[in-house]
Each structure stands twice: as C-alpha cells, then as structure tokens.
Amino acid sequence: MPQHTVSTALIACTFGAAPSNLQILPTNMVKCGNQPAGNIMDHIPMVNIMPFGMCNAPANPAVIAATSAAMGTPTPAPCIPATSAPWAPGSATVMLGNMPALNSTSKCLCNWAGEISIGMPGQVQTAIA
C-alpha cells in the first residue's frame, strides 16, 4: 500500500542527474510523520520541486542550446524544473486541502518530457490508498 508523501520526500526525474527533496509548505496545516503532508497540487517548480542537478532532456531548450554550442555533442544543462500539471493520480480515498493527498505512487510530468517519481515518501508510518 502506498505511503502518504511528506516534505523531505526523495524525488527523482528520468532526465535529471541527481535526486532532489520535495518541499511541502505547511499551508494545509496537516502533518504526517512530523512533517507537512502533501497533496497533488504541491508541484510548483522551485517552491515544491527543486532542481535535479543537470538535465539531459532533449526537449529542454537549455539542453538544445548547450548541445548546439558543443557542435552537436549531447550536452546537459542545469535543471530548472518545469512542472505545469499536478501530481497524478494521488490518493483515491484521502483528501487534503480539498485535493487528493499525495501518495508514494504519484508521478509528475516535466514540460521537457521527464517523469518525476517519488523514491522515498519521507515517512513510512502512514499508508494511504
């Protein structure tokens, strides 16, 4: 059963070079495992989702520019997350702040074709469906 995802969860992008931590602001005033609990709307770049080191996504304009400057040699560029859609699917049974709670099986898509997944939810005491 999936776990409720909280602030400090370990997340990774398929095109990122390093994992990152999910940052959840305490706006919903709900804690789980002594950390602010998340919902599917916690997907804001540079607020909730921090950079993943270097980006290798061929659709990223910064990677395209770096590759062009290197005369066609694939060249990564610094990651700047671009997530415009919420996490999906979220919990089917638990609502948090009038939105589905974020669970450890949820995914978030980057505009440059990367898929962000939750590796470690930040706590393991509370499971949600």
Q: Which tens digit of pLDDT belongs to each residue from 91-124?
A: 999 999 999 999 999 999 999 999 999 999 999 9
Chain mean pLDDT for the chain: 96
How many helices (H) and strands (E) in the chain?
Answer: 1, 10
pLDDT digits (tens, 9 = 90+) for 60-77: 999 999 999 999 999 999
pLDDT of residue 113: 96
Question: Where along the chain do its domains lie?
Answer: 10-120
**Tens of pLDDT, residues 105-114:** 999 999 999 9
Residues of the chain by 3-state class (helix, strand, coil), percent to 5:
10, 30, 60
pLDDT (0 to 100) of residue 129: 84
Q: What pLDDT was estimated at residue 63?
A: 98
